[in-house]
Structure 1
Amino acid sequence: MRDSVIRRKGNKKIVMLTAYDFQTAGLLAEAGVDLLLVGDSVGTVLQGQESTKQVTMEEMLYHTRAVVKGAGRVPVVSDMPIHSYDGPEEALRNARAFLGAGAEGVKIEGFTTGIVRVLTEAGIPVMGHLGLLPQTAAFHTVAGKTEEEADRIKHDADSLCAEGVFALVLECIPESLARAVTAAVPVPTIGIGAGRYCDGQVLVINDLLGMTRGHRPKFVKPYADLAGIISEAVRRFKTDVEDGRYPDNAHTYH
């Protein structure tokens, strides 16, 4: 996976989507996505948590196994949840657990000297993540707007590449900064709220399908209204049951 992703740098755009379950992973694989991300966004998307901070290793491994079963030949990358890579030994143990669950790589937020290098030297593919860092951010806002913040992101991007990441997720940063980072690093960048010039794009699948209620980030473009479709289907089922139209003869064993 690592080499095939790196070869996409500056070429055909990379399409990555989150998946948390077997059925969705299979549908996304059939649709031709390049990568599946088992995101710790499972905490906010499926569990109803206020942030990703409550997501555990056990939960991430559970969802990784389910996604891998449905992914077929599409590579699966798993988010390492908060505190699962606080130190090199812990990071290595937990990253190996993800590979044992079937993931082909892991994603780590931010940059701490030496953590990524320990994993890559052990042969574990690592995807970096810079910009807005949901695991530690106090507020979800655009990162890298000041010169100091932008310089830190550029520095961390270079440092992550030096430690061997095979790709970088850039989240919620100005388009101009994402363009500069993309031009400067040797690995593909995958944007989420980072504008048009990254080497690929990722979205949370529930956002793409129009299932998310409440606030919608500016970068989200729903490609369906699944929330409306689900609500209408349930209302029709409820009416049919109440009126005695379901089950009918065609849906009854004899």
Structure 2
Amino acid sequence: MSAQNQNRIKRVSVPDVRARKGGEPLVCLTAYDAPMARLLDPHCDLLLVGDSVGMVVHGLDSTIGVTLDMMILHGQAVMRAAKQALVVIDLPFGSYEQSPQQAFESASRALAETGAQAVKIESGTYAADTIRFLSERGIPVMGHVGLRPQAALNEGGFKAKGRDDMERTRVFHEAREADAAGAFAIVIEGVAEDLAAEITKAVHVPTIGIGASASCDGQILVTQDMLGLFDWTPKFVRRYAQLAEAVQDAVKAYAGDVKSRAFPAAAETYSFKPKNG
């Protein structure tokens, strides 16, 4: 075996993630482009190319306008840079709900054209049949219960779930169904803390919380939220940096240097070098 092959980084696999149930928490973040994926990759077990890209990168009001072509484009960018983390691609609204066959066509295209390792779907009442259909055909699927951004129009916005008995029963049932259908992990978003803990105990696969509970088997955040790139972030986000302020300060300094002609200086300028003789 060559030294190059010996030094090759082993990518986290679907079985690796599944085996972390009840063990060391899974570290997960979103990624939409190659430069950010390269920075996140050494520290993350899983990178999600989320349909949140529509809001975070493209300035949409919701995830509803995101297309499969957009997801594939961003998935390709992330896969060019991520060498270690398991990369999961969201199937966007309208690309999988109609039937398991539609979901298979969308998922197989997403994986074939990006090289990613799995897809994620939001787990409505239809989800169990779709997860089972995809899993039986070799496509790893991550479920998503609780607050489902793709259902925001029907549910009146982005609201926490599981705060009353009816919602609690529904979310718990959807998680159990996703588990039984073959999901290798389940995202739990925006639910009451005790419900997230109950789901985590009830299912056989890792749960990944976002606005859920520290008792989940892992956590995920939108990277730009965690880095403080927006003025507002949800309650469940902890800001680990204030990059918006750093960017504004840098651009302000640049603008001042341009206006005063302090930039470019000699160090940033090319000079003519005549040939000798």
Q: TM-score range by the shorter chain?
A: over 0.9
User: Which structure 2 residues correspond to residues 48-197 of structure 1 after superposition, within 5 A?
Assistant: 48-86=59-97, 87-100=99-112, 101-111=114-124, 112=126, 113-137=128-152, 138-197=156-215
Show the counterpart of 1:35: 46
Instruction: Work out the CA distance in 2 between the residues paired with 1:141 and 1:19.
Output: 24
Task: Pick the aligned partner of 1:251 from 249, 252, 268.
Answer: 268
Q: Is the radius of gyration larger for structure 1 or structure 2?
A: 2
When normalised by structure 1's length, the TM-score is 0.97
Q: Residue deviations 1:5-42, cap 9 Å, x none?
A: 01111100001000000000000013x11100000001
Identity %: 46
Unaligned runs of 5+ in 1: none
* TM-score for the superposition, normalised by structure 2: 0.89
Which of 7, 10, 13 lines up with 2:25 in the alignment?
A: 13
Deviation at 1:73, TM superposition (A): 2.2
Q: Does the 8 A contact of 2:41 with 2:85 survive in 1?
A: yes
Shift of 1:55: 0.3
CA apart distance, 1:154: 1.3
Report runs of 4+ in structure 1 exceeding 6 Å deviation: none
Q: State the AA in 1 paired with 2:141.
A: V
C-alpha separation in 1, matches of 2:55 and 2:122: 17
Give the letter aligned to residue 111 of structure 2.
Answer: L
Whether 1:205 aligns to 2:223 is yes
Structure 1 residues 54-97: Cα deviation after superposition (integer angstroms, max 9, x where no partner): 00000000000000101112110000000110211110011011
The answer to whether residue 248 in structure 2 is matched with residue 235 in structure 1 is: no
Determine the structure 1 residue equivalent to 2:241: 224
Q: What letter matches 1:130 in structure 2?
A: V
Aligned residues: 252
CA deviation map 1:87-120 (0-9, x unaligned): 1111001101111111100000023141111100
Counterpart amino acid of residue 248 in structure 1: A
CA distance, structure 1, for counterparts of residue 220 and residue 48 of structure 2: 9
**Does the 8 A contact of 2:45 with 2:84 survive in 1?**
no
Map Cα deviations across residues 210-236 of structure 1 (whole Å, 9 max, x no partner).
0012x3211011100100000000011
Residue 128 of structure 1: how far off its partner (Å) = 0.2
Q: Structure 2 counterpart of 1:75, which letter?
A: L
